[in-house]
Structure 1
Amino acid sequence: MTSQQLGDELLRHWQLLWPLPAAERIKRIDEIRADLEFEEQIKLVSIEMANPEFV
């Protein structure tokens, strides 16, 4: 995921969370960002694990 894609995804979530108080929005966006970065790392690990050089 590029930084642009991450930014676009976070903006989409920010817009959905708009009715919440600012502090809650910030907290949730931080959690979502961490989840997205974790998912990206898991994806990269699974790609490397599927690489026949490492099996």
Structure 2
Amino acid sequence: MNSQQFGDVLLAHWQLLWPLPAAERIKRIDEIRADMEFEEQLSLVSIEMANPEHA
């Protein structure tokens, strides 16, 4: 996922969370961002582990 896609996903979440108080919205966006970054890293690790020439 490139930075534009990453930003677009976070913006979509932000808009869905708009009815929440600001502090709660920021907390949830931070959690979503961390989850997305973790999933990206997990994906990269899976690709590397599936690639036998790097072993």
Query: TM-score normalized by structure 1?
Result: 0.94
Is there any run of 5+ residues in structure 1 with no aligned partner, and where? none
Moved over 6 A (4+): none
Is there any run of 5+ residues in structure 2 with no aligned partner, and where? none
Q: Corresponding residue for 2:9?
A: 9
**Identity across matched positions, percent:** 84
How large is the RMSD of aligned CA atoms in angstroms? 0.9
AA aligned opposite 1:14: W
Q: Corresponding residue for 1:27?
A: 27
AA aligned opposite 1:45: V
| Deviation of the 1:35 alpha carbon | 0.2
